[in-house]
């Protein structure tokens, strides 16, 4: 499968209020905001090293989760679908992202009562897989079909079990290969793809970010990294321990254009 190279990444800095971000795992240790900000700066620098121009949206301490820009919009081709996020407290995050995307893409909004987090949307070629999670509704699947099917995209719902988002447990590496955590989602819609199954103890590594011939992987997953490299992919490791305390994976902190 031939895919176009990414040229831009929209990012948003970690706010000083990040220690009040939504914590899916309430048993996690307290968040070190300064460390989280440093890890996010390194993440951004890696994207720049991959020759992406960064579109920077100012952080807003009124929205502790605002650095997780992936959830605010779904960018497919020339269109950006602005999300009505599943967590009501986060919905104000979308406005600044929408304004930043305006000069790059045509903008579309989901109709009520659809709710959608971008972390539930996995794009593979002309196929769009939408996780039906606690944050994303079946109405969003139909709404995305309405917006994107005229451009030749096929939209498929995917049942998500306990995971926060589909991309928490399944991401695309390229060359018809996905990396995934078994048992956390319905794998049937992905039957055509080769699957790299993540060991349970490295579940966080099911969320990788593949950009311009390099697979960015979270630190602390040596078994998964070996499997990905054995499959023929170049990798680089990034530490996001503090961001993970708020449920984040590597895809969460950027929108790749």
Tokens of 8: 């831009």
CB 250 within 8 A of CB 243: no
Catalytically annotated residues: 165, 252
Buried b (16+ CB within 10 A) or exposed e, 221-249: beebbebbeeeebebeebebbbbbbbbbb
pLDDT band at 2 (very low <50, low <70, confident <90, very high): very low
* Domain-embedded: residue 226: no
Q: Which pLDDT belongs to residue 3?
A: 52
- The pLDDT tens digits of the residues spanning 82-129 come to 999 999 999 999 999 999 999 999 999 999 999 999 999 999 999 999
- The pLDDT tens digits of the residues spanning 209-229 come to 999 999 999 999 999 999 999
Q: Which pLDDT belongs to residue 24?
A: 87
- Residues of the chain above pLDDT 70, percent: 98
* Domain-embedded: residue 109: yes
pLDDT over threshold 80, residue 23: yes
Backbone angles phi, psi at 90, to 5 degrees: -100, -5
**Number of domains composing the chain:** 1
Domain of residue 136: give its range: 8-162+240-256
Mean of the per-residue pLDDT values for the chain? 96
Q: Domain holding 62: CATH number?
A: 3.75.10.10
The CA-atom distances, in angstroms, between 105 and each of 18, 131, 141, 166, 235 are: 29, 24, 21, 24, 30
- The pLDDT tens digits of the residues spanning 3-22 come to 579 999 999 999 999 999 99
* Domain-embedded: residue 220: no
* Domain-embedded: residue 134: yes
pLDDT band at 27 (very low <50, low <70, confident <90, very high): low
Q: Which pLDDT belongs to residue 26?
A: 74
């Amino acid at each position: 499968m031939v895919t176009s190279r990414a040229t831009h990444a929209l990012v948003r800095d970690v706010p000083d209020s990040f220690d009040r971000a939504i914590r899916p795992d309430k048993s996690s240790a307290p968040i070190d905001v300064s460390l989280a900000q440093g890890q996010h700066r390194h993440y951004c620098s890696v994207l720049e090293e991959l020759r992406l121009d960064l579109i920077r949206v100012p952080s807003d301490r009124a929205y502790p989760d605002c650095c997780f820009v992936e959830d605010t919009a779904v960018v497919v081709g020339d269109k950006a679908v602005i999300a009505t996020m599943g967590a009501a407290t986060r919905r104000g995050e979308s406005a600044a992202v929408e304004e930043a995307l305006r000069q790059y893409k045509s903008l579309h909004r989901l109709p009520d009562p659809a709710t959608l987090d971008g972390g539930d949307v996995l794009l593979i070629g002309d196929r769009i897989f939408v996780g039906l999670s606690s944050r994303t509704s079946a109405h969003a699947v139909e709404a995305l079909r309405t917006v994107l099917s005229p451009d030749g995209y096929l939209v498929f719902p995917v049942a998500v079990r306990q995971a926060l988002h589909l991309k928490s447990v399944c991401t695309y590496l390229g060359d018809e290969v996905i990396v995934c955590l078994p048992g956390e989602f319905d794998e049937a819609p992905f039957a055509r793809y080769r699957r790299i199954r993540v060991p349970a103890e490295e579940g966080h590594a099911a969320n990788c970010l593949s950009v311009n011939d390099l697979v960015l992987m979270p630190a602390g997953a040596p078994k998964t990294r070996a499997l990905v490299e054995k499959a023929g992919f170049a990798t680089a490791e990034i530490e996001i321990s503090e961001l993970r305390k708020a449920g984040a994976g590597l895809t969460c902190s950027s929108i790749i254009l």
